[in-house]
Amino acid sequence: MMRIAMLLVVSTLLLMTACQNGGGRQVSSQGWEYEVHTNSKGQKVSPGDYIYFHAQMRNGDSVFYKSREESQTPYLQVPVTSDPNRKISPVEDVLVQVAEGDSVTIYIPLDTVSRPPMGFTKNDILEYDVVVMDVQNKEEFQVALEERRAERAEQAAKVQERAADVAALVEETLSAYKTAKLENLIETPSGLKYIIHENGNGKKPISGQAIDVQYYGVLASDGTMFDNSFGRGQALRFPFNSGRVIKGWDEGLGYITEGAKATLFIPSDLAYGKAGSPPVIPGDAELVFYVELEKLY
């Protein structure tokens, strides 16, 4: 059941607009309660079709999950055959009854969820706000899938080609740092130090905003690389300043703008502390991260 939470997202503004067209609560074929906010009269789904959608999970007015923070738009396939005895998720059960462009809220009783999210203490209902983005038949889906795969592979290759140059820049920057020859180094009250190699032309991230970051991390002591995104060819996406990464990242990335390139020198108490992160990061280790704030969402 909790896999539903990893599939959903729709903006609050869209939901507020959609609610103006509300049509009252309804009950799906398998007994899930839902409410249609907009009825676009778009393309209806057929057996075997693929439904792309965005959504968010709410506890009243508090949003606990947004799938826009994930790298891909969620989708599901409508079963080819209809079996009333086949148990399906609330999302699948409701979305097969709506059309492209529709937005709905699905009300899931908390006692039907095996592992409820933390924070659901005042309400006994999980609310999923969903908007149907696209409906594709099997042939359209396969064509689009191959196009996305080719595009991702091309993008990954371009990022991977930069790995050697980034490694050289990190080595040069660390050498200058250790010999006190690094110009324009900024130190913050927390002990974090950073240098901006290239300013961005976008905005600074705000708390909770999904961001994409390319990075290359080494130990300050000897330059040992312990992790980087360039080798994988894909940026790391996460909600900014939400405790999903080390404190040094949440602080340091807040000083730069979208499109910027910088190096963060992170003391151990803003990284992994005395425990470290075995086997590659020892205790009390200062870390150096070259970062690129690639995109804000």
Question: Does 9 fall in a domain?
Answer: yes
Task: Give the domain range for residue 193.
Answer: 161-296
Tell whether 86 is covered by a domain. yes
In a domain, 154, yes or no: no
- Mark whether 165 and 283 lie in a shared domain: yes
The Cα–Cα gap between 84 and 180 comes to 71
Please check whether residues 95 and 192 belong to one and the same domain. no
Cα angle, residue 69 at apex, residues 195 and 156 outer, rounded to 5° = 65
The low-confidence residues of the chain, meaning pLDDT below 50, are 1-21
Residue 150 located in a structural domain: no
Q: What is the pLDDT of residue 65?
A: 79
- Residue 119 is predicted with a pLDDT of 62
Could you tell me how far CA 14 lies from the centroid of its own chain?
A: 19
The total of other beta-carbon atoms located within 10 Å of residue 97's CB is 15
How many Cβ atoms from other residues are within 10 Å of residue 210's Cβ? Answer: 20
Q: What is the CATH number of the domain that holds 61?
A: 3.10.50.40
Q: What was the pLDDT predicted at 192?
A: 98
Q: Are 109 and 13 part of one and the same domain? A: yes
- Asked if the structure places residue 38 within a domain, the reply is yes
What pLDDT, on a 0 to 100 scale, did the predictor assign at position 7?
39
Q: Are residues 92 and 172 in the same domain?
A: no
Q: What is the pLDDT of residue 42?
A: 79
- Using an 8 Å Cβ cutoff, are 117 and 195 in contact? no
**Neighbouring-strand partners of residue 35:** 25, 105
In a domain, 110, yes or no: yes
Q: Where are the beta strands (DSSP E) in 110-209?
A: 125-136, 186-187, 193-198
Number of domains in the chain: 2
Helix (H, G, I), strand (E, B) or coil at 198: strand
Residue 12's pLDDT is what?
36
